[in-house]
Amino acid sequence: MLDVEIKTTEFQTVAFLPMHGAYAQIPEAFARLYGWIARHGLRASGMPSSVYLTDPATVPESAAAWEVRAPVEGNPAEAEPDASGVGIKRVSPSLVAAAMYRGPYEKIGPAYGEIAAWIPAHGYHVNGPPEEIYFSEPSTPPEDTLTEIEFPVARN
């Protein structure tokens, strides 16, 4: 049983890379994103994340739309994705239902279901795409991987 909480996220400036298709591209997407950050003289600060813009329950993975993000320090100018696909944007604070999941990414699905059931049972509704925030290094054993799942919500 997950411990779900309602909280407000913090304002962030992020480098982001929009992606389509298989989620198996996530490691390569983060490598591209962090390489871009380094090449542009920026400094990452905080936990990386992925935002899932399409619902895996209704959209085939081959048509999935998602993006990877990394918070960056300072106040770089907002920019649409360049030729390499990476851009900079501001992410405003939002109210979220959040829970920490421990375990392999391949088994995260039931955690989404548990949070999705908790939200309406506590007087909220989802009003945006979910985000996964990654708290573990890639070398962490899968059973010890920590991922926070956040659903943007609003009161009913």
Q: How many other C-beta atoms can be found within 10 angstroms of the C-beta atom of residue 13?
A: 18
The pLDDT of residue 27 is 94
How far apart (Å, rounded) are the C-alpha atoms in residues 35 and 149? 25
**What is the span of the domain harbouring residue 52?**
5-155
Residues 6+ apart with CB under 8 A from 51: 66, 67, 69, 129, 130, 131
* Tokens linked to 19: 């992606």
Q: Which of 96, 95, 62, 84 is nearest to 17 (CA)?
A: 84
Q: What string of pLDDT tens digits covers the 156 residues of the chain?
A: 899 999 999 999 999 999 999 999 999 999 999 999 999 999 999 999 999 999 988 999 999 999 999 999 999 999 999 999 999 999 999 999 999 999 999 999 999 999 999 999 999 999 999 999 999 998 999 999 999 999 999 999
Query: Which contacts of 121-125 are long-range, i.e. CB under 8 A and separated by 24 or more positions?
Result: 122/4, 122/6, 122/97, 123/155, 123/156, 124/6, 124/97, 124/153, 124/154, 124/155, 124/156, 125/153, 125/154, 125/156
Which contiguous run of DSSP H or E holds residue 26?
helix 26-39
Residue 54: CATH number of its domain: 3.20.80.10
Q: Which of 86, 96, 85, 104 is nearest to 146 (CA)?
A: 104
Q: For tokens 């739309």, what's the residue?
A: 65
How many structural domains does the chain have?
A: 1
Cα→Cα distances 137→27, 133, 147, 151, Å: 12, 12, 11, 23
